């Protein structure tokens, strides 16, 4: 097996952190509180970001009352040990709000190995997007189910209700990274004492504990009686702690800090040879609800999972019904299968080939040979990968999916775990429909992918965010392989 390049895990963290730091909800029962009466003219908070007790960065969140509405901004800075090298990640999300807190426009920027900026303007239920990368500028319009509105009044609402134990709210959360919306529920659990890093000598202080649930993930938040956030425990081992600005911005990668990729990998009890055709394992510690463990080449019975490598020599002539195939052929903001450059390249690669499996093989071979395999912390965009010709599993999978769809070959993205040296690492790969769904891997050079690929979910980044639930929770026990 070729060398792994799996910073998928970091991208998932960026998604989770962005969604939790910048949230919105539609005007509903919270309209009983007028924003102007409960929100301050200006407020800013600073929080240190810790991963399993080690400080890796900081986040800031500001709110400012403008002449006609509000402006909000959220920034996050992190330094991470990624495969032996320190990588810096900086995200900034900002939004302009009307007096009723409806979003007029927003901007999200990611600065890392590759920079990306997404700008959005919202009129009624139409989102006009501009996506900027180092090598491309594209625009797109998306129809929303409802006009988004910031949830800045949630904490004031809870305080107004008296922060009573059992108070519960459910609302949608908009993620500027995936451009998707998920339902979030918050519930006041009661009051307890906590001790923060900044004042351990002062002892514990009283706080209200609030539970949040989003996309199957659970987070915890502690606030004081004035509604100031003191601490937040986010999925995958992140902790945010309220700190003065002077303290929050002080951080450096700890000497000898653990490689974040290795730290989140899953130990395995068996030493597997390359290219296995069958694997039987027992999964522990994972609530499988919402995951896609059963189906296709995978069979789940109880906690036992069997995976069989696809036998491409016995494919039938089945085709997807048009209504089902449409979603696997459509263009998305980051899978630009309708772009002329991608269409032209797909035609050049596939030529006159008509057979789905042969098309997939040609596209897989081109992607494997022409995209340099390097760690890349960015939001994968097919057009950007086409220009830079480099990236990790996210970039390979995104570009392949765009090329396949441009060639009329139904394709989808899958994500889960892949084996390497007695450990499983988080990884992404595509699947193509050629009589049935076939898993392939243009990053590792496998067509079809071997049985050491454990699919947890399929779909884009908005779907892949559920993988956060598995991190540091799942364990895998090998039973049999061949």
| 434-461 confidence digits (pLDDT tens) | 989 999 999 999 999 999 999 999 998 7
Per residue in 323-339, pLDDT tens?
A: 888 999 999 888 999 99
Does 224 sit behind a cis peptide bond, omega within 30 degrees of 0 on the bond before it? no
Residue 254 counted as domain residue: no
Cα separation, 396 vs 412, in Å, equals: 13
The parent domain of residue 453 ranges over 265-481
β pairing state of 423-433 and 266-267? antiparallel
Q: What is the pLDDT of residue 5?
A: 54
Residue 71 counted as domain residue: yes
220 plus 340 within the same structural domain: no
Q: What is the pLDDT of residue 277?
A: 98
Residue 148 counted as domain residue: yes
Residue 255 counted as domain residue: no
Q: What is the pLDDT of residue 31?
A: 43
344 plus 225 within the same structural domain: no
β pairing state of 423-433 and 411-420? antiparallel
Q: What is the pLDDT of residue 133?
A: 80
295 plus 233 within the same structural domain: no
Residues contacting residue 315 through CB under 8 Å, at least 6 positions apart? 357, 434, 435, 436, 438
Residues contacting residue 49 through CB under 8 Å, at least 6 positions apart? 55, 56, 57, 58, 59, 76, 78, 238, 239, 240
What is the model's pTM? 0.84
Cα separation, 142 vs 176, in Å, equals: 13
What is the DSSP-derived secondary structure letter of residue 2? P
Residue 99 counted as domain residue: yes
Q: What is the pLDDT of residue 144?
A: 76
Q: What is the pLDDT of residue 27?
A: 40
Contact at 8 Å (CB) between 377 and 87?
yes
Through-space distance between the first and last CA atoms of the chain, rounded to whole angstroms = 16
Beta strands per DSSP E along 167-277: 168-175, 180-194, 205-214, 217-223, 229-233, 238-242, 266-267
Residue 257 counted as domain residue: no
Q: What is the pLDDT of residue 34?
A: 53
**Number of folded domains that form the chain:** 2
Cα separation, 374 vs 354, in Å, equals: 32
Q: What is the pLDDT of residue 35?
A: 52
pLDDT under 70 in the chain at which residues?
Answer: 1-10, 13-38, 146-154, 156-157, 160-161, 172-181, 197-202, 253-258
Residue 175 counted as domain residue: yes
């Amino acid at each position: 097996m070729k060398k792994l390049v799996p910073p998928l895990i970091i991208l998932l963290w960026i998604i989770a952190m962005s969604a939790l730091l910048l949230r919105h909800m539609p005007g509903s029962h919270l309209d009983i509180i007028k924003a102007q009466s409960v929100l301050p003219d200006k407020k800013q908070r600073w929080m240190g970001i810790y991963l399993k007790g080690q400080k890796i960065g900081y986040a800031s969140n500001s709110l400012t009352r403008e002449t006609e509405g509000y402006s909000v901004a959220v920034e996050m800075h992190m330094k991470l040990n990624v495969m032996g090298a320190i990588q810096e990640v900086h995200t900034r999300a900002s939004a302009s709000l009307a007096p009723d807190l409806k979003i007029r426009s927003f901007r999200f920027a990611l600065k890392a190995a590759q920079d990306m900026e997404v700008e959005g303007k919202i009129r009624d239920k139409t989102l006009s997007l501009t996506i900027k990368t180092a090598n491309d500028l594209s625009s797109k319009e998306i129809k929303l189910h409802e006009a988004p509105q910031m949830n800045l009044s949630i904490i004031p609402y809870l305080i107004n209700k008296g922060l009573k134990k059992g108070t519960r709210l459910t609302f949608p959360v908009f993620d500027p990274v995936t451009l998707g919306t998920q339902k979030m529920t918050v519930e006041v659990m009661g009051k307890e004492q906590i001790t923060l890093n900044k004042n351990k000598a002062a002892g514990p202080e009283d706080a209200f504990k609030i539970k949040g649930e989003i996309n199957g993930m659970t987070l915890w938040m502690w606030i004081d009686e004035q509604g100031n956030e003191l601490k937040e425990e986010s999925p995958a081992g992140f902790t945010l702690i309220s700190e003065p600005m002077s303290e929050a911005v002080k951080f450096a990668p700890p000497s000898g800090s653990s490689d974040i990729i290795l730290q989140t990998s899953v130990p395995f009890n068996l030493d597997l040879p390359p290219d296995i055709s069958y694997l039987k394992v027992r999964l522990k510690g994972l609530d499988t609800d919402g995951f896609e463990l059963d189906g296709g080449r995978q069979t789940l019975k109880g906690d036992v999972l069997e995976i069989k490598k696809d036998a491409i020599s016995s494919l039938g002539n089945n085709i997807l019904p048009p209504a089902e195939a449409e979603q696997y052929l459509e263009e998305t903001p980051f899978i630009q299968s309708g772009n002329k450059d991608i269409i032209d390249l797909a035609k050049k690669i596939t030529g006159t080939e008509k057979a789905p499996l042969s098309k997939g093989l040609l596209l897989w071979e081109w992607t494997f040979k022409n995209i340099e395999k390097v760690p890349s912390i960015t939001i994968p965009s097919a057009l950007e990968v086409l220009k830079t010709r480099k990236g990790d599993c996210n970039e390979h999978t995104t570009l392949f999916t765009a090329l396949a769809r441009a060639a009329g070959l139904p394709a989808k993205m899958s994500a889960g775990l892949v084996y390497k040296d007695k450990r499983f690492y988080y990884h992404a790969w595509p699947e193509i429909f050629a009589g049935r769904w076939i898993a392939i891997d243009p990053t590792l050079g496998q067509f079809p992918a071997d049985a050491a690929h454990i699919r947890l979910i399929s779909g884009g980044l908005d779907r892949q965010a559920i993988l956060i639930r598995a991190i540091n929770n799942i364990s895998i026990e090998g039973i049999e392989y061949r």
